[in-house]
Amino acid sequence: MTYVLTEREEQLIKKINRLRKEKNAIILAHYYQRGEIQDIADVVGDSLELARKAQKTDADIIVFAGVRFMAETAKILNPDKKVLHPNPESGCPMADMATYQALKKMKEEHPDAVVVAYINTNADVKTLADIIVTSRNAVKVVKSLDAKKIIFVPDKFLGSFIAKQVPEKEFIFWEGFCPPHFNLTAEQLLELKEKYPNAKIAVHPECNTSAVEIADFVGSTSQIIEFATTVDADTVIVGTEVGLKHQLEKINPNKNYVFPETADYCGIVHCCDMKKNTLDKIAEVLENETNEVVLPEDVMEKARLPLERMVKIV
**Residue 176 per-residue DSSP state:** B
Q: Does 229 bind ligand 13P (CB under 6 A)?
A: no
Taking CA 259 as the corner, what is the angle to CA 253 and CA 260, rounded to the nearest 5 degrees? 160
Q: Which does 46 bind (CB under 5 to 8 A by kind): ligand 13P, ligand SF4, none?
A: ligand 13P
Tell me how far, at minimum, the Cβ of 221 lies from ligand 13P, in Å.
4
3-state secondary structure of 155: strand
Side-chain half-sphere of 87: how many Cα atoms within 13 Å? 19
Cα separation, 291 vs 69, in Å, equals 14
Cα separation, 312 vs 212, in Å, equals 28
- Comparing CA positions, the residue from 19, 8, 74, 12 lying closest to residue 37 is 12
Q: Does 46 bind ligand SF4 (CB under 6 A)?
A: no
Confirm if 287 and 15 have CB atoms less than 8 A apart.
yes
Q: Does 277 bind ligand 13P (CB under 6 A)?
A: no
Tell me how far, at minimum, the Cβ of 168 lies from ligand 13P, in Å.
25
Would you tell me how many other CB atoms lie within 10 Å of the CB of residue 120?
Answer: 29
Tell me how far, at minimum, the Cβ of 161 lies from ligand SF4, in Å.
14
Q: Does 92 bind ligand SF4 (CB under 6 A)?
A: yes
- Per-residue binding letters, 194-213, with ligand 13P (x by CB under 6 A): ----------x-x-------
Tell me how far, at minimum, the Cβ of 172 lies from ligand SF4, in Å.
20
Q: Does 62 bind ligand SF4 (CB under 6 A)?
A: no
Q: Which does 273 bind (CB under 5 to 8 A by kind): ligand SF4, ligand 13P, none?
A: ligand SF4
- Per-residue binding letters, 113-132, with ligand 13P (x by CB under 6 A): -------x------------
Nearer to ligand 13P, 38 or 120 (CB): 120
Cis peptide before 154 (omega within 30 of 0): yes
| 63 contacts: CB under 8 Å, gap ≥ 6 | 20, 25, 26, 27, 28, 84, 86, 282, 285, 286
Side-chain half-sphere of 138: how many Cα atoms within 13 Å? 32
Radius of gyration of the chain (CA): 19
Residues 151-180 that bind ligand SF4 (CB under 6 A): 178-180
* 38, 57, 127, 135: which one binds ligand 13P (CB under 6 A): 135
What order do you get walking across the sheet with 61-65 strand by strand? 43-45, 25-30, 61-65, 82-84
Beta bridge partners of 43: 28
Confirm if 225 and 31 have CB atoms less than 8 A apart.
yes
Q: Does 178 bind ligand 13P (CB under 6 A)?
A: yes
Q: Which does 135 bind (CB under 5 to 8 A by kind): ligand SF4, ligand 13P, none?
A: ligand 13P
Q: Does 35 bind ligand SF4 (CB under 6 A)?
A: no
Q: Which does 93 bind (CB under 5 to 8 A by kind): ligand 13P, ligand SF4, none?
A: ligand SF4
Q: Does 72 bind ligand 13P (CB under 6 A)?
A: no
- Per-residue binding letters, 256-285, with ligand SF4 (x by CB under 6 A): ---------------x-xx-----------
Residues in contact with ligand SF4 by CB under 6 A are: 67, 92-94, 120, 178-181, 206, 241, 271, 273-274
Residues that bind ligand 13P (CB under 6 A): 46-47, 120, 134-136, 178, 204, 206, 220-221
